[in-house]
Amino acid sequence: MADNKMLVEERTKDLGNFLVGRLLPFRKKRQVGPFTFIDHMGPLEVKKGHYIDVDQHPHIGLSTLTYLLEGAVEHQDSTGTHQVIRAGDVGFMTSGSGVTHTERTPKEQRNNDFIFPMHGYQIWVALPKENEEMQPRFDFIPKEKLPQWREGNLDVVLVAGEGFGRKSPLKVYSPLFMVHVKAKEATFLEINGQLKGEIAIVVTKGKVEDDGITVEAGQMLISKTEDECSIHLAENTELLLFGGQPLPEERFMYWNFVSSSKERLEKAKEDWKNKRFPKIKEDDTYIPLPSKR
């Protein structure tokens, strides 16, 4: 493998009713551009007695980006937002100084005999230092408002940031990109000159080949340089490209908190333990701070 590339295997974690696979961070690479954390949800079946119910929990210093390939999730947070995010939509919650939220299977998918597919990603984007304590907010972009186009034999969606000469309407806080690519037929994707910054390729379906390396679903290929020329996609392959310019300061993580300051992480831990974070109205659920993370 070339020195400027790293291949990452997804690590699976059992959360009870469903499994998530973690791709970032890992020991040799803590961030790709400003992206600090990627959880892969599914593919799984949502059915009676097996629902997604992530109770109220906090964040600081980051934006959470929810992007689904299949299914739907109901988002609620302490800014007052209540939004169902469906496949192809983008939910973008910016925690700033502190926010709490829940993620659940939508009401229309509960208490019936139907089975619904669920597959997607939750991604954390670290905020620049000057935005770490900004007012929390939530932005939602429905799928039909995202830039979508045909690139040769590829169907491409610009989920966030800038790339391929286009710009997503989603408000972001540092130079980054996230792109969803689908190939029905075997083809090449030209990357060189289209994206700026560090680049990661997450294969969600099928496989890609690059410089003699085969990357399959559940794996991620990271390039630390911007000189990727092209990658070969097998037929019926889907992938996500993400990355951007790294933030100048190191970022520290504890549980759901990200900050350029270790002292700020300690304050967030104490605030959550003492229930000083904002709350979702009429929601008394609470996930305790883990003893070690």
pLDDT tens digits, one per residue of 24-41: 555 555 688 899 988 888
Q: How far apart are CA 73 and CA 83, in angstroms?
A: 8
37 within a domain of the structure (yes/no): yes
Q: Express each pLDDT in 256-271 by its tens digit.
A: 999 999 999 999 999 9
Question: What's the structural domain count of the chain?
Answer: 1
At 108 the three-state DSSP class reads helix
pLDDT reported for residue 9? 53
| Amino acid at position 126, single letter | A
Q: Express each pLDDT in 159-169 by its tens digit.
A: 999 999 999 99
pLDDT over 80 at 4, yes or no? no
Q: 176 CB contacts (<8 Å, ≥6 apart)?
A: 33, 34, 35, 125, 160, 161, 197, 242, 243, 244, 245
What is the mean predicted confidence (pLDDT) over 98-104? 97
pLDDT over 60 at 23, yes or no? no
Are 65 and 268 spatial neighbours (Cβ–Cβ below 8 Å)?
no
Q: Which of 15-19, 49-53, 156-160, 165-169 has the lowest mean pLDDT?
A: 15-19
Which two tokens mark 48? Answer: 């009676």
What is the mean predicted confidence (pLDDT) over 65-69? 97
258 within a domain of the structure (yes/no): no
DSSP state of 173: S
Q: Express each pLDDT in 180-230 by its tens digit.
A: 999 999 999 988 889 999 888 888 999 988 777 788 888 878 775 565 567
pLDDT over 80 at 7, yes or no? no
pLDDT reported for residue 205? 93
Q: How far apart are CA 233 and CA 184, in angstroms?
A: 9
pLDDT reported for residue 209? 87
Q: Which of 22-26, 60-64, 248-252 has the lowest mean pLDDT?
A: 22-26
Kindly indicate the confidence band of residue 19, based on its pLDDT and cuts at 50, 70 and 90: very low
CATH of the domain at 237: 2.60.120.10
Domain containing 197: what range?
5-244
Alpha carbon of residue 40 to chain centroid: 8
Q: How far apart are CA 202 and CA 240, in angstroms?
A: 5
Query: Helices marked H in the chain — which ranges?
Result: 262-273
192 within a domain of the structure (yes/no): yes
At 168 the three-state DSSP class reads coil
pLDDT over 80 at 272, yes or no? yes
| Amino acid at position 138, single letter | F
CB atoms within 10 A of CB 164: 18
The structure tokens 């009401």 sit at 107
Q: What is the pTM of this model?
A: 0.90
228 within a domain of the structure (yes/no): yes
Q: How far apart are CA 220 and CA 218, in angstroms?
A: 7
pLDDT over 50 at 67, yes or no? yes
- Closest of 276, 192, 216, 202 to residue 38, by C-alpha: 202
217 within a domain of the structure (yes/no): yes
| Amino acid at position 206, single letter | G
Of the two residues 71 and 211, the one the predictor is more confident about is 71
At 99 the three-state DSSP class reads strand
108 within a domain of the structure (yes/no): yes
Kindly indicate the confidence band of residue 111, based on its pLDDT and cuts at 50, 70 and 90: confident
219 within a domain of the structure (yes/no): yes
Q: Is 270 exposed, middle or buried (0-12, 13-18, 19+ CB in 10 A)?
A: exposed
Q: Mean pLDDT over all residues of the chain? A: 88
Q: How far apart are CA 113 and CA 237, in angstroms?
A: 31
Q: 113 CB contacts (<8 Å, ≥6 apart)?
A: 48
256 within a domain of the structure (yes/no): no
Which two tokens mark 139? Answer: 């932005």
